[in-house]
Structure 1
Amino acid sequence: MEEALFFTPEEHRQLIALYKKILQLSGETLLKDDCHKLKNHLIAAASSKSIPRNVFGMNSIIKDMQTAVIVSEEIGMRRASILGIMLHESVKCGFCSLESVQQEYGEDVAGIIRGLVKINELYTKSPTIESENFRNLLLSFAEDMRVILIMIADRVNLMRQIKDCPNEEARLEVANEAAYLYAPLAHKLGLYKLKSELEDLSLKYTQHDIYYHIKDKLNATKAARDRYIDAFIEPVRRKLEEAGLKFHIKGRTKSIHSIYQKMKKQGCPFEGVYDLFAIRIILDSPIDKEKQECWQAYSIVTDMYLPNPKRLRDWLSVPKSNGYESLHITVMGPEGKWVEVQIRTERMDEIAEKGLAAHWRYKGIKGETGLDEWLNSIRETLENADSDMEAMDQFKLDLYKDEVFVFTPKGDLYKLPQGATILDFAFTIHTSIGSRCIGARVNGKNVPLRQTLNSGDQVEIITSSTQTPKRDWLNFVTTSKARTKIRQTLKEIAAKQTQFAKETLERKFKNRKLEYDEAILMRLIRKLGYKNVTDFYQGIADETMDVNTIIDKYLELQKRESEQRDEITYRSAEAYNLQQPVEGKDYYKDDVLVIDQNLKGLDFTLARCCNPIYGDEVFGFVSISGGIKIHRCDCPNAKDMKSRFPYRIVRAKWAGKSQGKQYPITLRIVGHDDIGIVTNITSIINKESDILLRSISIDSHDGLFSGMLTVMVDDTGKLEALIKKIKTVKGVKQVNRG
């Protein structure tokens, strides 16, 4: 009767089915009395009501049984792991002791339970596993690495079961941890199937609309995609059969999470992800012929379809540290679409699906003891790894470091030096295309001329009949051909423009019945800030200097010299510096910020990389030391922080009033090099009763000054008003917030 109260009717049906499944999967490894003792133990635990449901309302015994099935069926672990999973909840809740488990089932089972209980204690102390705790977490499992495998399986099971759970906050926490902790861990251990499932389910729970948008797009294009894969596979199949190879081929689409990462990285919609397809050729080869037949299949595929050499991954010659073996190559299929082809044997495929447990089983080692060598190597890797999450990423194979390989839309391959730009590629194709280039479409996305190319990019050059080479092109092209052709064309254009501008100026003088003195004109050219006569005439040609204005200035200079007047001394703004002493008080340490859920009085500092002030849209970032740094939402570092450390981001908003609380802001001002302009700017700031000028630093170059001003202001409203006033000063060309 008690047991019926512990399990709902649906859970009771699940219990019987799961128990049979576990016996089927692990019966051969269980000892004679294991099943009987485990059954009695679970009945007693259910009757005692000592094992509570979890935060999602799930029955713990059912959940553990589901995890045991995953561990057994999808990873290949046996007795100790299964018993450890089924018994650890009873130990954690105090229904039985670790000593009694050790006496009944052995030290192997007790050791796994010890590790699982330790995980629970760590979670109790630190509900959010941040990067600093991540290293401690991994090292605490180093006693028995099977615990990590069970953790991953348990998280996969949990993610599968919580889709309809009403506890949204708990589901988001579980999903975020799956993405930044468990999925990279599964990847490191070679559990690629479980890793993909964790990533997809995490995306489903954290970004529901994006997940279903991609899923619906995949469903809508499934028929066309299947037809394409069939058309791609058929000729490959024929050639492999003719070569006498035993094999089967599977076509698949990238996971939803993988497609979303491509969309983010390339900044393109679903339709712009160009390598959706992947084909897996699985050979039935004897072990002594595995490599030979894999490379034979590789040769057949690359003879039929043009390969991208940058995308070759040879984990056949040197397997990954986790035992993964395979050949990966991306080729250009029909219609100019990229297709990834993976070539492996049946043995390699099982290792890829089930991880290292399968790897050691193939080495002829029976039972779980064969995992010891692998577990020791993984333990060493984790102990030596950096605490940063990126240390858990796959090892990247960087071939051809000094070259990039780029494709045209038709599939033609071009080789360029590392760092080559769109413009370099355009000149590589043809000089006329380079001269008329205005941009390109790279992998379906519009990009500017200076965009650096990466190996494997598919590039379509965009030209315009009105485009001509520009001098600043020389600042970013890298190939000698592009540089030479640009210089040559610029010289030809400059010579024509200079001659035309000179003729235009002479004609204007003549039209106004004036004769000009060459010496006065030379002095005027220098006064206007030009280094030489060619630049002066180029300014006329570029229409940055009006001919009538030049004549007016010439007449003014001529009149001044003829009347023998003293020329007003021209003073540069160079080295105009001001440093104001500032009272040593903290300008913002009051409760002006509400952080996360209406918390005030937290220790925070304003980030120096973006200098937020009252009124800016801001967010908080939890630093390793525990304090919170406040950043502007448009901070140049914001995107990187949110993508790499989403769990350290907290909400923040300004509260109260800004009056009396001042913030240091740096303004960069560019204008004509005249000390009078700087004086006018400082006068405006000094007239503002609630704005304090702390420092000015001025540099001048080529007739312009560049000034860095630090002011103390209350909020964004007063800052914007000040910027508007400074912009009204005659001679000021640009005002930007630092």
Structure 2
Amino acid sequence: MLRQYELVERVKAYDPNADEALLNRAYVYTVQKHGSQMRASGDPYFSHPVEVAGLMTDLKLDQETIITALLHDTVEDTLATIEDIELNFGKEVARLVDGVTKLSKIEQMPENERAAENLRKFLLAMSEDLRVLLVKLADRLHNMRTLHHIKKPEKRQRIARETMDIYAPLAERVGMYEYMREMQLLAFQQLEPEAYTTITNRLDQLRQSDMGQVDRIALDIKQALSGAGLDVEVWGREKHPYSIWKKMAERHLPFEQVSDIMAFRVLTENAEDCYRALGILHSAFQFVPGRFKDYISTPKNNGYKSLHTTLFYDKSMRVEVQIRTREMHQRNEFGLAAHWAYKQGDRPDGAVGWLRDLIEIVDASHDAEELLEHTKLAIYQDRIFAFTPKGALFQLPKGATAVDFAFAVHTDLGAQTVGVKINGRHMPLRTPLANGDVVELIKSTKAQPQLSWLGFVVTGKARAAIRRSVRLKERDEVAEIGQKLFDEMAERLPTKVGKKAMKQAADRLDFDSVEDLMYAIGSSKLGDREVMEAIVPGSTADMPEEPSQERAISIKGLTAGVAFDLAECCHPVPGDRIVGLRRVGESVEVHAIDCLQLANGVDADWVDLSWGEHSHGAVGRLNVVLYNRPGTLAEMAGVFARNNANVINLELTQRDDPFHTYEVDLEVQDLAHLTRIVSSLRASDAVAQTDRT
């Protein structure tokens, strides 16, 4: 742990004008307030905020940020108040501490709602001052470094999952790649211990048989560039285990087929030398077509600049090379934090573009589940670049369509879009955009977002806006159903019901209007007895109790009593995004949103659905390709057993030596459970490939 004088010396080394007395006072304040509190590791609690402050000094951040890091837990975990902070350290520090302070746990709320509410307030706070995010990321990084001291595995898993889903992507979005990589590695170790051990063991084996190959390749690259008169630094490194695992999962590759495990960096004096170096390397080595990216002319949203290319070394080995200036390298590794260094005069003010989109998503999301889904969509994924006809540049995730582009330009434009020209040609709205496309949108003021768009949009902003519009459109339809159900209940009462009784019923049930009551009835939020009792108090006293019906799976978005079936073509499980196909006289078919069979649903009404609370237990289907050798089938069965999954059906569908392909139906709790099983299978030496059907 940093001593008091060491922390002050670190700050004074890059900011001689820093207020030494104020820094000392903050250090002593956090030590006194946390007192005898201890961490799970057995260290005194105040060691945590001190180490977080140390991380901030590594980034050369201003003294207000250092003091905020020292005090960030005092308000939640001690008797200190924001007023105390303001009195002792000023308004700016108090505002930052208030933004970073961890929110009190809301014990009565489900875990996903707690996470969503924390994320909602966190996004709003960091939109006011991005230093809130920098301190929060350092706070999470230090907690991840000490996560192994927590005894309860379920708590370690929860913290690791939250880190992987929210904090690592946020670090990437502000360009703090060092933080992102370490968070991902530490979370990966907790979430997929089998895969982590397998890959790290393979990397150790490679290192032992390497015989200095990384250094040899780096030297050959440097000699090629130095021979052409360029002053460069070159070094090589292995990609970290999570990066390799991600590539294995996305491309369905075993470890042996991941070709570019080694990556090399070339640092030059200026941008012109970057392009010269690229040309020299492409002349000296054969390059892999389609693997070149120019992030210097078109930087990423987070300001990342570099040239990326992949070369063949010794005619067979693929190596990735990143070329950038020394200044770009500093900015790339620490991103937004580099702008906040004490000596910078051009500090970013307020929310950057992607953060403004997140705030809009917060406003548009209907519930906790949607908020988390849309936010993850907004902070994940590689980017492509597309242009308006006037040359305005927009960055979007890979796979984005014209509808995603329209909502990225403006929410109102997205809602009014009816067609598109891509590079001058009329194309379907679902067409994925490619780098450099020019997108001309065709709109109509009478148009409205279509529910079917949810089948192909990929951005959180578009998905949130479409769902919000569809909900508003359907509200009247649901209220109309509610009115019909209300009329049926009224007919069962011993007295005639008029408009006055309807208004009184709404008041008794705490609704602001009759329309709100009808909507609640139509959306199955109220039972018959509850409504009838509100219309005529005492009228249900002699009525028999309605039998309760329990089922493990419930679907939100269906009228009460409407039957549904889970489609066997895609086997949706709780956690999948779902949509319903409704045909007259038939049960509603519930499909995963990306099911290919939805294209056959042109004769059906589409219904926007989601899983009910506490839904669990469904059958997921996997295709598993095993190596045809003794013990592989037992190894697959062992994976199922270790993950508490019950096999409903197992069928050998194809023999193609040296592989056997099985179709497996499994009873699983939800999507997370099924995903863990798929991950465990892919980490197994017995499994060549596995996918959901």
TM-score range, shorter chain: 0.5 to 0.7
Contact 1:184 1:392 in 2 (8 A): yes
1:380: which partner in 2?
356
Instruction: Find out whether 1:197 has 2:182 as its counterpart.
Output: yes
Q: CA deviation at 1:376?
A: 4.5
In structure 2, what residue type is equivalent to 1:68? A
Q: CA deviation at 1:391?
A: 1.5
Instruction: Find out whether 1:37 has 2:17 as its counterpart.
Output: no
Contact 1:254 1:277 in 2 (8 A): yes
Distance in structure 2 (CA, Å) of the matches to 1:589 and 1:231: 72
Contact 2:295 2:306 in 1 (8 A): yes
Residues 1:275 and 1:291: Cα distance change in structure 2 (over 3 Å)? same
- Between 628-637 and 59-68, report the one with greater CA deviation: 628-637
Contact 1:131 1:389 in 2 (8 A): no
Instruction: Find out whether 1:608 has 2:584 as its counterpart.
Output: no
Contact 2:174 2:336 in 1 (8 A): yes
Residues 1:627 and 1:592: Cα distance change in structure 2 (over 3 Å)? closer
1:391: which partner in 2?
378
Instruction: Find out whether 1:241 has 2:226 as its counterpart.
Output: yes
Q: Spell out the pairing of 1:546-557 with structure 2 (5 A cutoff).
A: none
Distance in structure 1 (CA, Å) of the matches to 2:208 and 2:28: 52
Q: CA deviation at 1:171?
A: 0.9
Distance in structure 2 (CA, Å) of the matches to 1:604 and 1:276: 53
Contact 2:41 2:146 in 1 (8 A): no
Instruction: Find out whether 1:97 has 2:55 as its counterpart.
Output: no
Instruction: Find out whether 1:64 has 2:49 as its counterpart.
Output: yes
Q: CA deviation at 1:256?
A: 0.4
Q: CA deviation at 1:76?
A: 3.3
Residues 1:146 and 1:43: Cα distance change in structure 2 (over 3 Å)? closer
User: Could you say what secondary structure the match of 1:397 adopts?
Assistant: strand
Percent of residue pairs bearing the same amino acid type: 24
2:331: which partner in 1?
351
Q: Spell out the pairing of 1:180-219 with structure 2 (5 A cutoff).
A: 180-219=165-204
Q: Deviations over 1:18-71 (max 9, x none)?
A: 434422321335314213422442453255x5xx44567663311111111112
In structure 1, what residue type is equivalent to 2:349? E
In structure 1, what residue type is equivalent to 2:347? L
2:244: which partner in 1?
259
Distance in structure 1 (CA, Å) of the matches to 2:72 and 2:340: 26
Q: CA deviation at 1:304?
A: 1.5
Q: CA deviation at 1:281?
A: 0.5
Instruction: Find out whether 1:633 has 2:609 as its counterpart.
Output: no
2:261: which partner in 1?
276
In structure 2, what residue type is equivalent to 1:391? A
Contact 1:621 1:629 in 2 (8 A): no
Q: CA deviation at 1:112?
A: 0.9
Q: CA deviation at 1:217?
A: 0.7
1:78: which partner in 2?
62
Distance in structure 1 (CA, Å) of the matches to 2:378 and 2:132: 20
Residues 1:230 and 1:85: Cα distance change in structure 2 (over 3 Å)? closer
Q: Deviations over 1:391-449 (max 9, x none)?
A: 212542379xxxxxxxxxxxxxxxxxxxxxxxxxxxxxxxxxxxxxxxxxxxxxxxxxx
Residues 1:71 and 1:594: Cα distance change in structure 2 (over 3 Å)? same
Q: CA deviation at 1:297?
A: 0.4
Q: Deviations over 1:146-171 (max 9, x none)?
A: 11111111111111112243221211
Distance in structure 1 (CA, Å) of the matches to 2:340 and 2:70: 25
1:366: which partner in 2?
343
In structure 2, what residue type is equivalent to 1:98? I
In structure 2, what residue type is equivalent to 1:252? R
Match of 2:285 among 298, 301, 305: 305
User: Could you say what secondary structure the match of 2:233 adopts?
Assistant: strand
Contact 1:56 1:167 in 2 (8 A): no
Distance in structure 1 (CA, Å) of the matches to 2:195 and 2:177: 23
Distance in structure 2 (CA, Å) of the matches to 1:218 and 1:604: 54
Contact 1:314 1:328 in 2 (8 A): yes
- How many residues align? The count is 418
Residues 1:607 and 1:103: Cα distance change in structure 2 (over 3 Å)? farther
Instruction: Find out whether 1:250 has 2:226 as its counterpart.
Output: no
- Between 113-122 and 61-70, report the one with greater CA deviation: 113-122
Distance in structure 1 (CA, Å) of the matches to 2:202 and 2:176: 27
Q: Spell out the pairing of 1:576-615 with structure 2 (5 A cutoff).
A: 590-591=549-550, 593=552, 608-610=566-568
User: Could you say what secondary structure the match of 2:300 adopts?
Assistant: coil
Instruction: Find out whether 1:23 has 2:3 as its counterpart.
Output: no
In structure 1, what residue type is equivalent to 2:328? M
Distance in structure 1 (CA, Å) of the matches to 2:339 and 2:125: 25
Distance in structure 1 (CA, Å) of the matches to 2:572 and 2:39: 38
Residues 1:68 and 1:207: Cα distance change in structure 2 (over 3 Å)? same
2:305: which partner in 1?
325
Contact 1:350 1:358 in 2 (8 A): yes
Distance in structure 2 (CA, Å) of the matches to 1:180 and 1:105: 34
1:425: which partner in 2?
none
Residues 1:54 and 1:590: Cα distance change in structure 2 (over 3 Å)? farther
Residues 1:653 and 1:268: Cα distance change in structure 2 (over 3 Å)? closer
Q: CA deviation at 1:327?
A: 0.5
Q: Spell out the pairing of 1:219-618 with structure 2 (5 A cutoff).
A: 219-225=204-210, 227-283=212-268, 285=269, 290-359=270-339, 366=343, 370-373=346-349, 375-377=351-353, 379-384=355-360, 387-397=374-384, 590-591=549-550, 593=552, 608-610=566-568
TM-score (norm 1): 0.51
- Between 320-329 and 219-228, report the one with greater CA deviation: 219-228
Q: Unaligned regions of 5+ residues in structure 2, if any?
A: 363-373, 387-433, 435-546, 555-560, 578-608, 625-642, 647-692
User: Could you say what secondary structure the match of 1:309 adopts?
Assistant: coil
Distance in structure 2 (CA, Å) of the matches to 1:240 and 1:653: 55
Contact 1:593 1:653 in 2 (8 A): no
Instruction: Find out whether 1:147 has 2:123 as its counterpart.
Output: no
Contact 2:292 2:309 in 1 (8 A): yes
Distance in structure 2 (CA, Å) of the matches to 1:125 and 1:372: 36
In structure 2, what residue type is equivalent to 1:366? K
In structure 1, what residue type is equivalent to 2:343? K
1:106: which partner in 2?
90
Distance in structure 1 (CA, Å) of the matches to 2:80 and 2:622: 55
Q: CA deviation at 1:240?
A: 1.4
Report the RMSD for the aligned CA atoms in angstroms: 3.9
Q: Deviations over 1:83-118 (max 9, x none)?
A: 112223222245232123212212221111111236
Q: CA deviation at 1:314?
A: 0.7
Distance in structure 2 (CA, Å) of the matches to 1:108 and 1:321: 28
Residues 1:20 and 1:124: Cα distance change in structure 2 (over 3 Å)? farther
In structure 2, what residue type is equivalent to 1:293? D
Q: CA deviation at 1:331?
A: 1.7
TM-score (norm 2): 0.54
Instruction: Find out whether 1:115 has 2:99 as its counterpart.
Output: yes
Residues 1:103 and 1:617: Cα distance change in structure 2 (over 3 Å)? closer
Distance in structure 1 (CA, Å) of the matches to 2:336 and 2:27: 30
Contact 2:358 2:378 in 1 (8 A): no
Q: CA deviation at 1:343?
A: 0.2
Q: CA deviation at 1:121?
A: 6.0
When Rg is computed on C-alpha atoms for both structures, the one with the higher figure is 1
Q: Spell out the pairing of 1:665-704 with structure 2 (5 A cutoff).
A: none
2:491: which partner in 1?
none
Distance in structure 1 (CA, Å) of the matches to 2:214 and 2:46: 44
Distance in structure 1 (CA, Å) of the matches to 2:569 and 2:562: 13
1:580: which partner in 2?
none
- Between 257-266 and 128-137, report the one with greater CA deviation: 128-137
Residues 1:36 and 1:229: Cα distance change in structure 2 (over 3 Å)? closer
In structure 2, what residue type is equivalent to 1:90? T
Q: CA deviation at 1:251?
A: 0.5
Q: CA deviation at 1:133?
A: 6.7
In structure 2, what residue type is equivalent to 1:397? I
